[in-house]
Amino acid sequence: MPNQISINKKISPFKKSIEVSSDKSLSIRSVLFASQAVGRSKIYNLLESEDVINTLKAIKKLGIYYKKKGKMYEIDGFGLNGFDPKNNTVINSGNSGTLGRLLLGLLVKSNKKIKLVGDKSLSKRDFSRITEPLKGFGVNIKSNRNFLPVEIQGTDFLRPINYVENKGSAQCKSAIMLAALNTPGVTKIKAKKSRNHTELFFKFLKIPIKIKKEKKYDLIQIKGLHQYNCFDYIVPGDISSSAFFIVLTLLSKNSELIIKKVNINDSRIGVVKILNKMNANIIFKNKKIYKGEKTADIYVRSAKKLKSINCPKILNSSAIDEFLIIFLVAAKAKGVSIFEDLGELNKKESPRLDIAVRFLKMIGIKVFRKKNDIKIYGNPNLNLKNKYYLKNYLKDHRVFMMSCITALIFGGNWKIHDKDSVNTSFPKFIDILKKLGAKIN
């Protein structure tokens, strides 16, 4: 089968320095912000993955011109609501919740009817979390019983909303923030903590925003209708992609890895905080701040004695895309690890909490689940010998990558389906594994 790989050998010790693919959240946001700026923005190191290519295709269909020049993308914005689509334009968001949801926020003033569709996985994900608040702005928006396709037709008579976002979803928060750009008056959001890239873009583009930080929530106020200028942006490496290599190194013997120029925004580094609490020794060096975002080189080496964790719920949102790979560390750590309140994991590209429980049981780990809480009974001697076949029916990129890391660390004979899924977020994944010495067919 062409679209599957096999791994039959653990990885040998490695000492290397790598660069992972660029950050997906920042790539999508930089393109969307450029599409609303006045003038020609230049974006360097844009992640060339399917989610981001779909973002570029989307703005093009909406009338925004872009061009690739070497390593740089030029995007010509015409200011706020500068889209000029044909009526009944269909936008395909592919696998990307971030693109679909954030784009709807930008379409609140469009006078044409736009239809948003997506792939099988995205079509199973809830869109009412976006359509409901957008209705509050006065927009005409319809979904297929809360799912895609969603049809939106904007209005010139937008009104600001007061909204409480209590899922800890940056996609919801950001969709509302982008809708606020085109809305007169002040939009107010009380948002449970989640990644704050959109806020940082607002600040560096000097779009009027006020943020009051509370312990669990941020109180955000945005004054709409402020035109902003085009910008240059260099996208750093993705901590979510790095996480697979951090864990590979931690759980391999006598290995060391440096991952260069990675975004280490505080709202994204839950994975590092959690793993360090489990006795890893992951260090950031060469720290810098670029347009409000922190970057660093990540240093990691094989862990000696990993211990279990009672994972503080406050870290859930900042590690939301990394739990699959964190669970592997819990599977190898001494003791019982506890993770709670992970319902949002089942709202991702596939139902990841369900899948994680099935997967861990498949590799012989005892797991106890109660609703959205799980206990993982670690086995420091875990060593696999059986045959494993992973079907990955919703083509979830992170399920694929987590399965590869499992095979390389714990052994066994693996066939892992849907290698193309990595193109969603991390096209270089297999190449980098091979560079570290992994034997993959």
In the complex, minimum distance from the CB of residue 91 to ligand S3P, in angstroms, rounded to a whole number: 17
Spell out the long-range contacts of 140-143 with Cβ–Cβ below 8 A and sequence spacing 24 or more: 141/104
Environment class of 75 (CB within 10 Å of its CB; exposed 0-12, middle 13-18, buried 19+):
buried
Give the interface with ligand S3P as residue ranges (CB under 6 A). Answer: 25, 98, 169-171, 174, 194-195, 320-321, 344, 348
In the complex, minimum distance from the CB of residue 320 to ligand S3P, in angstroms, rounded to a whole number: 5
State phi, psi for 282 to the nearest 5 degrees: -100, 125
321 is a catalytic site residue: yes
Closest CB to ligand S3P among 24 and 419?
A: 24
DSSP secondary structure, 66-107, as one string: EEEETTEEEEEEESTT---PPTTEEEE-TT-HHHHHHHHHHT
In the complex, minimum distance from the CB of residue 402 to ligand S3P, in angstroms, rounded to a whole number: 14
CA distances from 188 to 133, 192, 302, 332 (A): 12, 13, 46, 44
- Name the β-bridge partners of 150: 116
Looking at 321, 341, 396, 431, which residue is catalytic? 321
Q: Are 143 and 131 in contact (CB under 8 A)?
A: yes
Closest CB to ligand S3P among 139 and 170?
A: 170
Run of H or E including 6: strand 4-7
Closest CB to ligand S3P among 5 and 130?
A: 130
d(CA 205, CA 183): 17
What are the catalytic residues?
A: 321
